[in-house]
Amino acid sequence: MEFKKPTSLLDVPTHYCPGCGHGIVQRLVGEVIDELGIREKTIGTAPVGCAVLLYDYFDCDIIECSHGRSPAVATGIKRVLPDRVVFTYQGDGDLAAIGTAETIHVANRGENITIIFVNNAIYGMTGGQMAPTTITGQRTTTTQEGRGQNQEGPPLKVCELLASLDGVTYLERVAVSTPKDIMRAKKAVKKAFQNQIDEKGFSLVEVLSMCPTDWKVSSTAAVDFVNNEMKEVFPLGVFKDEK
C-alpha cells in the first residue's frame, strides 16, 4: 500500500488548527481531483470561513467568494464554461445560514456543480459562535447555556432539507472522524465529482467534521463528539441518488 499527498494540493503546511477536519476534507478533494485527472479543468470556490485560504493549498484555479455566495459564483462560472469542473467548498455558516437562499436555489436549478459542505457545527473562523448546525445543548460563545435556551431552534439539517427538491441529483452525508468514515467520505466526494463530469446535475456531500479549537476540546475528544453526538443528530447516509 502506498499513501502519498495528492499532487493537486500544493506541498505546504496548512493554517488549520491541530485536529481540524478541514485538512482531511481538503485532502480527499485533492485525491479525487488527482484520480479523475481533472486538475487542469477544475475551478474551485473558496468560502468565507476557516477554509478561505483554499487557494494557498490547491494547485488549480480558485475564486474566493463573499460569505455564502459561492453557489451563485459557481453558477456564473459553470454556465459560462459548462465543460469545466466547478466545485464549491463551504462551511455551515456559509452554506446554511447567510447563503441559505443561494444553496437552495443552486440545488433546485440542478446546476451541474459539486458542493463540498463541511459541517463542524460552529463558526470556526470568527471564534466559535453558534452555527445553524450547532446541536441542541451545544455551548458556543453565543449560546453560553447551550443551544435551545434562547429560541434558536433546532439544528438545520441540510441533506434532509435539500432531499425534497426535485432538481437535486445526489446528496450524501459522511464524516471524517474515523478512518473508515474517511474512506467512505472519499467515495462520496468522488461520486459527486463524477456526477458532474457525467453531466448528471447537482451533487452535494455534507461532511461532519471536527473543530477542536472552537468546541474547546482536545482533538481526540472532538473526534468523539462527531462520533457520539453529531452522528446522532445528523445521520450518515445517502439522501438522494438519482440515476
Partner 1 sequence: MSATTAPGHTETGKKLLLKGNELMVRAAIEAGCRFFAGYPITPQNEVPEYMSQLMPKVGGTFVQAESEIAAINMIFGASAAGARCMTSSSSPGISLKQEGISYIASAELPCVIANVQRGGPGLGNIRASQADYFQAVKGGGHGDYRLIVLAPASLDELQDLTMNAFDYADYYRNPVMILADGLLGQMAEPVDARPYEPILELPEKDFVLDGCKGREARVIKTLFLRPPKALVTHNMRLQKKYETIASELQLCENVQTDDAELVIAAYGMTARIAKGAVDMARQAGMKVGLIRPITLWPFPGPAFMEVAGTAKKLLVVEMSSGQFIEDVKLATECNIPVEFLGMGGGWYPTPENIFEKISAIYDK
Partner 2 sequence: MANIKFDKERCKGCCLCVAECPRGNIRMSEILNKTGSIYAEVIDEGDCNGCALCCQMCPDMAIEIEEDEKQTCCEKGSEK
Ligand X SMILES: Cc1ncc(C[n+]2csc(CCOP(=O)(O)OP(=O)(O)O)c2C)c(N)n1
Q: Candidates 211, 226, 230, 236: give the one binding ligand SF4 (CB under 6 A).
A: 211
Taking the least distance from each CB to ligand SF4, the nearer of 88 and 196 is 88
Which residue is at the shortest CB distance from ligand X?
91
74: left (phi over 0), alpha (psi -120 to 50) or beta: alpha
Torsion of CA 157, 161, 163, 168, to 10 degrees: -110
Listed residue (113, 114, 67, 72) closest to 92, CA to CA: 67
3-state secondary structure at position 61: strand
Taking the least distance from each CB to partner 1, the nearer of 1 and 80 is 80
Taking the least distance from each CB to ligand SF4, the nearer of 1 and 80 is 1
Q: For residue 241, list its beta bridge partners.
A: 170
Per CB under 6 A, which of residues 56..95 are in contact with ligand X?
Answer: 67, 91-94
Check binding of 50 to ligand SF4 (CB under 6 A). Answer: yes
- Pairing type for strands 237-241 and 168-175 reads antiparallel
Interacting residues toward partner 1 by CB under 8 A: 39-43, 46, 52, 55, 58-66, 69, 72-81, 84-85, 101-102, 104-105
Q: Which positions lie near ligand SF4, rule CB under 6 A?
A: 16-17, 20, 22, 50, 120, 124-125, 211-214
